[in-house]
Amino acid sequence: MRDIIITLTIIFVIFIHSNSQTYGKNGMVVSDNTISSQTGIDILKKGGNAIDASIATAFSLAVTFPQAGNLGGGGFLVYLDSRGKSTTIDFREKAPLASNSVMFLDSNGKLIKGSNHKGLKSVGVPGTVAGLYLAHKKYGVLPWKELVQPSIDLAEKGIIFSWNLEQHAKKFNSGDYPKFLQDYFKNSKENIIKQGELWIQKELAETLKFIRDYGKDGFYSGPVADEIESFMKENGGLITKEDLKKYKAIEREPIKGKYKDYDIISMPPPSSGGVAIIEMLNMIEKANLDSIKFNSSEYIHLITEIMRRAFADRAEHLGDPDFNLNMPINKLISKEFAKMRYANIDLHKASVSDSSKFGQLYDGDNTTHLSIIDKDGNAVSLTYTIEQSYGSGLGSKKLGFLFNNEMGDFNPKPGYTNNGWLIGTKANIIEPEKRMLSSMSPTIISKKGKPYLIIGSPGGRTIINTVFQTILCVLEYNMPIKKAIEVLKIHHQWMPNKLIYESDLISIDSLKKLEKMGHIVSATKQLGRLMGILCPLEEDIYIGASDSSSPDGGAIGY
């Protein structure tokens, strides 16, 4: 009876937090899991700042949200402090030292299907622990151990297994998945854990204890690093202790732009999100939106053409800045370039996507995002990932976490671009220690130096466009944050030449008009899974909302 009550209580809390806006005066945490959001709130209540809360929430998600929350992946953090100073932390994964530009090709130079997304050779050197540790070292206030301990408690004492996790467990047990993933959700009796039961992760707890006690060295050296290297050697992986020792997270200057009276603060390369979002906002400024009905076929056409151009530029030019020293970033985010780009948009006809000139890479779709603000107005937008859902599906039983499959985000065949998914531009070709290009787009919008909108999303290649459209809905159409997250989203990434739309949110008449304009339309159920906080300057309140497509997600304020 007690278990039933606990389960019903959790379901009720999740429903309340995931299906409405949430308000707070002293702080707000929005993530893909209500338990993890509460972890962040608890840190804020102890006197921690937004950086502290983001670290604790991220470690907690490694326990509660294993399909994307992680120790074995990487990501990006954007930080705006209460004085209006901004910075970013880049903890994107790297290619191992033993990698090379043709490692996924056969003897005839053809891509071995699926090879860059499956198996241990698809695993990039993880960056999450190093990134969170650097953020704490530079900007945290509470002791490191206090930020990691909550995740250890969750792993050791167990969390109530959700309906969503049970569905994943059943799928893995019935399909052709790696053995590690098949066993991941089983108890000591080798039975699949059921909804409402406790899920205890002892091995993950032990790994987290090393991180708690030794900081980043608890992951990148010592017993954890020894086991990672041993597991890789025994199973055909590339990562060594030298790879782990050499990995460093990097603090980088944000990408900045302006949209009317708002300042855009986002992630620079190796994320492509900041550059593309600012380029698209610059282009939309040239449009007369007052003459176009929101989400009409004319509006969708315009947004599609803007997306097409930004994604083509992304694929042609962007990559790891430490390997590409002459990327034309200032040009791409300039108002003058946007004016030129916008000038050749035909408002009545779709453009041609030409694969002989420039392109777009493939990204996985299971990332997770968290948005946080504290009582002093310090704001964090953090997106991290293990690439596809549950990453590579591989991991050491002794460590209890999943490895990413991020090597698939590199361009796998140098010099070859086609009309589908393959891109061969030099900027994102595999090189040892190079960071693969990403679509993750953690972003903070400020006004008069104060946070106004903290936003981000998972969704792989769709992240950039879902974040862009949500920003536009808030800034241009003054939508409440919940509505801006939930309204129709579309996606076009230049190649392949498809306009993807959310099937339940668009009319048949609009689709017919778009097809007459020359668009190739394709339906999907959901684009993105946004987590946002709105901070109205005229009100002493924070308003948080999580996407209703996140079954266990939620916004919590206090």
Helices (H), 31-119: 34-45, 50-64
pLDDT digits (tens, 9 = 90+) for 467-485: 999 999 999 999 999 999 9
Per-residue pLDDT for 8 more than 60? Answer: no
Q: Whole-angstrom Cα distance, residue 289 to residue 260?
A: 13
Q: Which residues touch 304 (CB under 8 Å, ≥6 apart)?
A: 350, 490, 492, 499, 519
pLDDT digits (tens, 9 = 90+) for 285-339: 999 999 999 999 999 999 999 999 999 999 899 999 999 999 999 999 999 999 9
Q: Whole-angstrom Cα distance, residue 205 to residue 422?
A: 39
The closest of 462, 548, 470 to 504, measured between CA atoms, is 548
Share of the chain above pLDDT 70, in %: 94
Q: Whole-angstrom Cα distance, residue 409 to residue 304?
A: 23
Q: Tokens for 144?
A: 């490191």
CA 111 to each of CA 119, 414, 421, 460: distance values in angstroms, whole numbers, following the listed order = 15, 10, 12, 21
198 vs 553, more confident: 198
Per-residue pLDDT for 262 more than 60? Answer: yes
pLDDT band at 425 (very low <50, low <70, confident <90, very high): confident
Share of the chain above pLDDT 90, in %: 85
Per-residue pLDDT for 6 more than 80? Answer: no
Is residue 250 within a helix (H) or strand (E), and if so which, with residue range?
Answer: strand 250-252
Per-residue pLDDT, 12: 39
Per-residue pLDDT, 361: 30
Q: Which residues touch 363 (CB under 8 Å, ≥6 apart)?
A: 387, 409, 438, 439, 460, 461, 463
Mean pLDDT of 405-432: 86
Q: Whole-angstrom Cα distance, residue 219 to residue 188?
A: 26
Q: Whole-angstrom Cα distance, residue 360 to residue 246?
A: 30
Per-residue pLDDT, 538: 85
The residue assigned the tokens 């998600």 is 61
pLDDT digits (tens, 9 = 90+) for 160-212: 999 999 999 999 988 789 999 999 999 887 889 999 999 999 999 999 999 99
Per-residue pLDDT, 1: 43
3-state helix, strand, coil in the chain (%, to 5): 40, 15, 45
357 vs 64, more confident: 64
Per-residue pLDDT, 369: 95
Q: Whole-angstrom Cα distance, residue 24 to residue 41?
A: 11
Residue type at 534 in one-letter notation: L
Q: Where are the beta strands (DSSP E) in 361-483?
A: 367-373, 379-385, 443-447, 450-456
Q: Whole-angstrom Cα distance, residue 27 to residue 18?
A: 17
Per-residue pLDDT, 360: 32
Q: Tokens for 98?
A: 């033993």
The long-range contacts involving 3-12, CB below 8 angstroms and separated by at least 24 positions, are 3/196, 3/197, 4/196, 6/160, 6/196, 7/160, 7/195, 7/196, 10/34, 10/160, 10/162
459 touches 120 (CB < 8 A): no
Could you tell me the end-to-end alpha-carbon distance of the chain, in angstroms, rounded to an integer?
Answer: 31
Per-residue pLDDT, 239: 98
Average per-residue pLDDT for the chain:
92
Q: Whole-angstrom Cα distance, residue 333 to residue 283?
A: 10
∠ CA 502-505-510, rounded to 5°: 95
Q: Whole-angstrom Cα distance, residue 539 to residue 323?
A: 45
Residue 115, Cα to own-chain centre: how many angstroms?
23
pLDDT band at 420 (very low <50, low <70, confident <90, very high): low
pLDDT band at 4 (very low <50, low <70, confident <90, very high): very low
Q: Mind telling me the catalytic residues?
A: 367
549 vs 405, more confident: 405
Per-residue pLDDT, 355: 61
CA dihedral of residues 13, 15, 20, 25 (deg, nearest 10):
10
The residue assigned the tokens 């603090």 is 251
Q: Whole-angstrom Cα distance, residue 240 to residue 395?
A: 15
Q: Which residues touch 468 (CB under 8 Å, ≥6 apart)?
A: 276, 277, 280, 281, 307, 441
Mean pLDDT of 248-261: 97
The strand pairing partners of 521, in sequence order, are: 499
pLDDT band at 357 (very low <50, low <70, confident <90, very high): low
Mean pLDDT of 241-251: 98
Residue 155, Cα to own-chain centre: how many angstroms?
23
**Sheet arrangement for strand 28-31:** 250-252, 86-91, 74-80, 379-385, 367-373, 28-31, 554-557
Q: Whole-angstrom Cα distance, residue 144 to residue 58?
A: 13
DSSP 145-159: HHHHHHHHHHHHH-E
pLDDT band at 54 (very low <50, low <70, confident <90, very high): very high
DSSP 489-550: -EE--SSS--EEEEGGGS-HHHHHHHHHTT--EEEES-----EEEE--TTSS-EEEEE-TT-
Q: Whole-angstrom Cα distance, residue 257 to residue 270?
A: 18
131 touches 138 (CB < 8 A): no
Per-residue pLDDT, 551: 84
pLDDT digits (tens, 9 = 90+) for 372-411: 999 999 999 999 999 999 999 999 999 999 999 999 999 9
